[in-house]
Amino acid sequence: QQQVKQSPQSLIVQKGGISIINCAYENTAFDYFPWYQQFPGKGPALLIAIRPDVSEKKEGRFTISFNKSAKQFSLHIMDSQPGDSATYFCAACGFQKLVFGTGTRLLVSP
């Protein structure tokens, strides 16, 4: 019940394309869903986050879509750029416990 399932494990997208990463959770006690971006050799950094009382949040080229009934949420990167190449982690937070997905390695080809 504490797992967050993330897919795909890796993703290759052409420059200018849309990158989509999906996550699913089981525990309905989770009430905060952040996404982290990690470049090689660096620590993860908070990218964007959403509360379950909204269905979508957009910040620049990054959008989280949230489906509370399906217990799924996804990250969309519009107009993907080579600089977006990184590992992305979804996470779910509840009762001060943060559970991470297993990560998606994104490569945006020029």
Partner 1 sequence: DGGITQSPKYLFRKEGQNVTLSCEQNLNHDAMYWYRQDPGQGLRLIYYSQIVNDFQKGDIAEGYSVSREKKESFPLTVTSAQKNPTAFYLCASSGTSGTLDTRYFGPGTRLTVL
Site residues, partner 1 (CB under 8 A): 6, 9, 31-32, 34, 36, 41-46, 49, 51, 89, 93, 96, 98, 100-103
CB of 31 to partner 1, least distance (A): 6
What three-state secondary structure class fits 92?
A: strand
Strands 72-77 and 62-67: antiparallel
| CB of 34 closer than 8 Å to CB of 48 | yes
Q: Which is nearer to partner 1, 41 or 110 (CB)?
A: 41
Q: Which is nearer to partner 1, 41 or 83 (CB)?
A: 41
Q: What's the CA gap between 16 and 27, in Å, rounded? A: 35
Q: Which is nearer to partner 1, 54 or 98 (CB)?
A: 98
CB of 13 to partner 1, least distance (A): 20
CB of 42 to partner 1, least distance (A): 6
Q: Which of 19, 77, 71 is nearest to 48 (CA)?
A: 77
